Amino acid sequence: MHIVTACGWFFVYKINQSCGNQKRSLVMLKKSGIFLYCLFALSVAIIGCGGGGGGGNPVGPATTTGPNANLSGTVLFDNAPVPFAAVYLYKSEKAHTYGMAQLPSMKGSLAAQQIISDGAYSTTTDAAGAYSFVNIPVGQYTLIALRDENHQFVQTGVLLGQVTTINPQLTPTGKITGKVTQTIGSIVQNIAGVFVYINGTSYLAVTDNAGNFVISNVPANALTSSTAYEILVSSTLGTASSRAGVRVNPGSTTDIGTIALIAPPAANYANLSGSLVAGSNVTSAELADQFVVLTHHTDGTIFGTHTDSTGKFQFRVMKDGIYLVLCSDSDYNYSPERLIVNIVNLDNGTVTLSAITVDAAQVQSTGSIVGSVTLAGSPIAGAVVHASGTSLVGVSNSVGRFVIEKVPANTSATPYTLELSASMGTAPAKTGVVVNVGQATDAGVFAVTVPTTGYKTITGQLVAVTPVTSAMLANRLVQLTAPDGKVIAAYSDSAGAFSLITTQIGAHTFTVIDNSFDYAPRTQSISVATLDNSSQALTAINVSQSNLNVSVSGAVAWAAPPGAWTFTDGEIVLAGTSYVERRIVGAAPASYRFDNVPPGNYTLSVNPVRNGYQGSISFSVNAGVDITGQSLPTSFVAPYITATDTEPFLDNVLKIYGQQFAAAPGMQAFVNDKPLPPANTGAWTDTYCVFALTELPPGQYGVQLEKTVAGGKVEGNKVTFNRPLLPPTNVTAESTDTSITFSWENAPYVTQVNIELWQQSTQVTPVRKITGNSYTYSNLKPSTEYTIVITDYYPNMAILPNAQYSFSTKNQGLNFITARALLTAADIPDNNTIFGFEVHDNTAYIGAHGYTTGAPVTLYAVDLGNSTFVSTTIANDGLAADALYSLAVNSDGVFLTHKQTDPVLTKLNLDLTGPTSKSLISAAPAGFGLGTVSTASIRSFDNRLFLVARFASTFVGINEVNPSTLAVINPAFSVDTAKNFVDTGKSAELAYDQTTSSLYLICAETPGDATDVTTLRAFSNLNLGLTPPVLGKLDGSRRIYGASALNGQVYIASYDTSTYYETGYAVDGASGYVRELYSITCVDNDKQGRTWICTTGGDYDYFHRVEPGLNIVQSLGMPDYADPLYTLTSDLSRIRSDKQTGMMYMLHIAANGNLAAYNYNSNY
């Protein structure tokens, strides 16, 4: 049978009064027409006499008659007191329940109020960091202290009564993450709504829809004396083994991996199936992912789950009894507020719960109600006062005062009625109570009277059975449940007697709530036939203890610690087959005691993690025989540092000296809670180890060693050391003739440096503070050495030796153009003409020919590094026109056009060896098959070879040539110019724009109107398969001296054969717009795209650098010279850029008649 109550409330709660000496335990049931009260209130559980603080009474349950104890101490961080820190003391078995109530989805909700009962205390440290808990019932507790989310402390297993002082040392916090899954069928599924918590603490999380969880703000235990954490889970979907030995490092996340739930038994269970339905101002979509809580009212077991996308949820329980179902989201109101289900039979069936309607919550303004309760003029503790129409209650304390908090404000039109329930009697209700926002309404005094008639007194007696004594019978909680569900509770007196008053007839149920002993019978029924104001006795109840456990006591023999080791206390552990207890033991006296120890074999050991000591003994415990005087010997095992040494300028490490060291990886160093990587582990000894400082910022630090031993990780003493700044390293520089760019590597964590520039003993620039690792000094002197001084800048750190680096500006560049000799006049045959000039990879190639029959071509390769040259001669018809001569060089070799019997293309190696020739006239494959040729030029662009020629009288063609075989690479281009241009100069030429990948053809032709012009055509991407239209025209048939192109502009140097003028042009490569320039004979661009032209006329020839607007910005005059026995052809391209080195050269005849070149570095 399963009983579900949806219209009323059924609660079980325990309340410890904060200032009284009574305990009350009630079970309440609201049936139709009977108002009962919502208990379990968190406000009830923690009502106290005062706010807390180091010396005041803490907030929480008050003392009761029975054994009590005090606990005090000072909260510390880095051994400094922490004022105004929060301190909590929980019954260990209740700690995770408190954590559940603090989840974001539950905090402050009714659900949170209803899952906490007794055993929770809190206080705040005073200005000196001190705290105290006074008159707390003895037992096992968890102590938590926190300054903020990032600095906390937790200690479980605090045995109040044996431990009176704990000084919590706050540690930085970390996180624990993981995932919960369950294999259903053969599919691994992520499980949501599972509680995951640290055993004995309130640190807890709930898995999300992906099964993931994060337990945040967990005190670090990897570097402290705290024991390793044990992770537990709570779910109705199954069970899982605990995860023990979990350690958390400061500021880091410990991932414990996947926890696999084991499915519950296939029998002896009951399924609870429920659903949420949308109410006022709520959409169906909002029903998804709502958090639902299920708690067992007797043992406090709590489970959670999330609703699915339709608002449905389900629990599976394996224990009978009464369960409470609540929803927790404070953004909504739930009707009913909670469901009660009584599971009687675990018959593997499903209990369908009443639907819960979800309405949007409305913000209410609240106040409070206060008052007092008396009996015969004396205050009564434990009386419950309920505000009608709400689930809000207040409980009187030891001076009879009660407070009902967060009562919605009302008016006289809707007053509250206050009703009182007390086990000692009754009192009239208070009516017409009005609550104002933010104010406390005083309801006055409830005067309780003992009934004079219409009652029955139920009496009972506890009887001690050896080894229980009569002194142990006091203060045992009992309760009587009336037929209508009302519960009356009482405590036994010093003799074990108790009495309860009922005003109802019928079957009553009596139960002993206390669990400290065995009670027979624990539950019994008693029927009240009449209310005759008499007494009716219960059957006597025997109180016994079924085990014969003993006590174990003795002292710890602490070994002498190293000189400066600070000894406070240590932890010892007594462990048997099913018994594990811990004790904190001081330095002197070092006594300990374990009570209630079952018979068996035990090991008593020191927890080395606590204080750096190790030791253990084993012995047997016999039933009923106490063990006294047991001595536990110890040895000191913590790594102890005696000295440190840093050598930042050598190997960037920290050397540590001391004792009790361990080999890597059994020992780790931590600096300000961050691990240091080990270094040179092969040299470690038990007194020496070394760690890398690479990732450590400069500053003063405390280093502490941690050693792995049996039982955990032991931390040593903390020693301070200085991590100095490192100087900048790897200083390099690049220069021009007027600037130097210095670069360097900053030391780790350094982002700013001070720099200054010197020239010998003169400071050139003042100190500059810069961010980064590079700086350029400009406007410097050419060919001058400078020194940069770089000094780290780091806040609050002393300045270290700086880094210095010297570097010179170059003696090259636009501002440092020099002339150099290439060949002497004697090196060039008499009466020769220079027709070709190319520069490739720091070698200048020069071609010359004579004008007599059979005069050869002489080629020169001048090494510009050492000014040496090699030369060779090639057979040639010296009477050929200049239009057939050209020179090109690339990485594949040296190429020239000239005339032997026929016009030919000749190839040589770069060292001018291995010449081979191919006729331009002969048919392929022996020749190019061009027929008659009047103009021929070989050019190299992007290391590709192109031949342009005028052939068959009127045709101009372009062939790409294979540089290895001199074969034509198709497609080729040709056009009939309708012009038979016969001249000594070239009538066709090529230019290439590397920035646009455009190849330009300039040639003389006669279009349909019979007017001679010189045309410009463009080939995109060097594609000769195109048939491009005429882009631009120059007037007249022109001899082409040379051409270059850059950034869409084509520069042409030409000679008008009709006017006999040398003229230059700039043609826009997109529009064909033509601008006339100076009388120029050649043009080219340097590596930076700067344009140089050569002009003739007047007394001197000049090289000019022109800006994009073609204005002259720099000029180089060609010197006056006595005519040598050689000349330069008029169409010689005198201006050449070495594409490999970036050097720019301008060929001319020097004053002494030598062949020379102006040169500068155009890389900048």
- Give the DSSP letter string of 881-920: -GGG-EEEEETTEEEEEEESSSEEEEEE-TTS-S-EEEES
Confidence of residue 800 (pLDDT cuts 50, 70, 90): low
CA distance 740 to 302: 73
Check if the beta carbon of residue 291 is closer than 8 Å to that of residue 329.
Answer: yes
Q: What is the pLDDT of residue 996?
A: 93
Q: In sequence order, what are the beta bridge partners of 1046?
A: 1049
Confidence of residue 32 (pLDDT cuts 50, 70, 90): very low
Q: Strand 229-234's sheet: what is its strand order? A: 204-206, 195-198, 229-234, 243-246
The mean pLDDT value for 278-285 works out to 89
Q: Which of 59-68, 629-638, 732-741, 1122-1131 has the lowest mean pLDDT?
A: 59-68
Structure tokens at 833: 């003409």
Q: pLDDT, tens digit, for every residue of 412-451?
A: 999 999 988 776 778 899 999 999 988 999 999 999 888 8
Q: What is the pLDDT of residue 397?
A: 75
Q: Vertex 468, ends 467 and 470: CA angle to 5°?
A: 135
The mean pLDDT value for 816-832 works out to 92
The mean pLDDT value for 261-282 works out to 87
Instruction: Check pLDDT > 90 for residue 940.
Output: yes
Check if the beta carbon of residue 1020 is closer than 8 Å to that of residue 1026.
Answer: yes
Share of the chain above pLDDT 70, in %: 88
Confidence of residue 226 (pLDDT cuts 50, 70, 90): low
The mean pLDDT value for 1111-1137 works out to 87
Q: What is the pLDDT of residue 694?
A: 80
Confidence of residue 487 (pLDDT cuts 50, 70, 90): low
Instruction: Check pLDDT > 70 for residue 477.
Output: yes
Confidence of residue 650 (pLDDT cuts 50, 70, 90): low
The mean pLDDT value for 174-203 works out to 86
Domains and CATH numbers, the chain: 40-169 (2.60.40.10), 172-263 (2.60.40.4130), 267-362 (2.60.40.10), 366-444 (2.60.40.4130), 456-544 (2.60.40.10), 550-636 (2.60.40.10), 640-723 (2.60.40.10), 729-808 (2.60.40.10), 818-1161 (2.130.10.10)
Q: pLDDT, tens digit, for every residue of 837-866?
A: 999 999 999 999 998 999 999 999 999 999
Structure tokens at 1057: 């054969």
Give this prediction's pTM: 0.44
Q: What is the pLDDT of residue 850?
A: 93
The mean pLDDT value for 882-907 works out to 96
Helix, strand, coil % in the chain, rounded to nearest 5: 5, 55, 45
Residue in this structure with the two tokens 């006294």, named with its chain if needed: 628
Cα 886–chain centre separation: 66
CA distance 640 to 248: 23
Instruction: Check pLDDT > 90 for residue 527.
Output: yes
CA distance 784 to 983: 52
- Bigger pLDDT: 915 vs 1009: 915
Omega before 925 cis (within 30°)? yes
CA-based nearest residue to 215, from 202, 203, 207, 226: 203
- Bigger pLDDT: 1144 vs 545: 1144
Q: What is the pLDDT of residue 29?
A: 27
Instruction: Check pLDDT > 90 for residue 227.
Output: no
Q: What is the pLDDT of residue 223?
A: 60
Structure tokens at 815: 């501002």
Q: What is the pLDDT of residue 337?
A: 78
Give the contacts of 891 (CB within 8 A, at least 6 positions apart).
840, 841, 910, 943
Q: What is the pLDDT of residue 1164?
A: 81
Q: What is the pLDDT of residue 1043?
A: 92
Q: pLDDT, tens digit, for every residue of 743-798?
A: 999 887 888 999 999 999 999 999 999 999 999 999 998 889 999 999 988 887 76
Question: 622 burial class (0-12, 13-18, 19+ CB within 10 angstroms)?
Answer: exposed
Q: Which helix (H) or strand (E) holds 111?
A: helix 110-113
The total of other beta-carbon atoms located within 10 Å of residue 777's CB is 20
Q: What is the pLDDT of residue 689?
A: 93
Q: What is the DSSP letter of 97?
A: H
Q: What is the pLDDT of residue 547?
A: 63
CA-based nearest residue to 419, from 407, 427, 410: 427
Residue in this structure with the two tokens 């661009």, named with its chain if needed: 1085
Q: In sequence order, what are the beta bridge partners of 262?
A: 239
Omega before 521 cis (within 30°)? yes
Share of the chain above pLDDT 90, in %: 40
Check if the beta carbon of residue 858 is closer than 8 Å to that of residue 820.
Answer: no
Residue in this structure with the two tokens 């027409």, named with its chain if needed: 33
CA dihedral (614, 619, 620, 625) positive or negative: negative
Confidence of residue 57 (pLDDT cuts 50, 70, 90): very low
Structure tokens at 40: 């379990």
Parallel/antiparallel/unpaired status of strands 535-537 and 456-464: parallel
Q: pLDDT, tens digit, for every residue of 698-742?
A: 888 899 999 999 878 898 999 998 887 778 889 999 988 889 999
CA distance 133 to 596: 25
Q: Strand 1074-1076's sheet: what is its strand order? A: 1038-1046, 1049-1056, 1061-1068, 1074-1076
CA distance 587 to 568: 6
The total of other beta-carbon atoms located within 10 Å of residue 264's CB is 16
CA-based nearest residue to 706, from 714, 698, 694, 697: 714
Q: Which of 298-312, 1025-1039, 1147-1161 has the lowest mean pLDDT?
A: 298-312
Three-state DSSP state, 286: helix
Q: Which of 218-232, 891-905, 1078-1092, 1122-1136 has the lowest mean pLDDT?
A: 218-232
Check if the beta carbon of residue 1164 is closer than 8 Å to that of residue 810.
Answer: no
CA distance 1038 to 573: 108
The mean pLDDT value for 234-249 works out to 85
Structure tokens at 621: 């415990």
Q: pLDDT, tens digit, for every residue of 950-1008?
A: 999 899 999 999 999 999 999 999 999 998 877 778 999 999 999 999 999 999 998 87
Instruction: Check pLDDT > 50 for residue 49.
Output: no
Structure tokens at 673: 């809670």
Structure tokens at 803: 């880094």
Cα 32–chain centre separation: 58
Residue in this structure with the two tokens 């070799």, named with its chain if needed: 893
Q: What is the pLDDT of residue 911?
A: 97
Instruction: Check pLDDT > 80 for residue 195.
Output: yes
Instruction: Check pLDDT > 90 for residue 605.
Output: yes
Q: Strand 1091-1095's sheet: what is its strand order? A: 1080-1085, 1091-1095, 1102-1106, 1112-1117
CA distance 694 to 747: 10
CA-based nearest residue to 1040, from 1051, 1049, 1030, 1029: 1051
Q: What is the pLDDT of residue 574?
A: 92
Residue in this structure with the two tokens 């905090």, named with its chain if needed: 107
Q: Which of 88-102, 372-386, 894-908 has the lowest mean pLDDT?
A: 88-102
Mean model confidence pLDDT for the chain? 83
Count of positions (residues) in the chain: 1164
Q: What is the pLDDT of residue 1084?
A: 92
Q: pLDDT, tens digit, for every residue of 622-636?
A: 876 889 999 999 999
Structure tokens at 545: 């203890």
- Bigger pLDDT: 82 vs 1147: 1147
Beta strands, E only, 772-814: 774-777, 785-793, 803-808
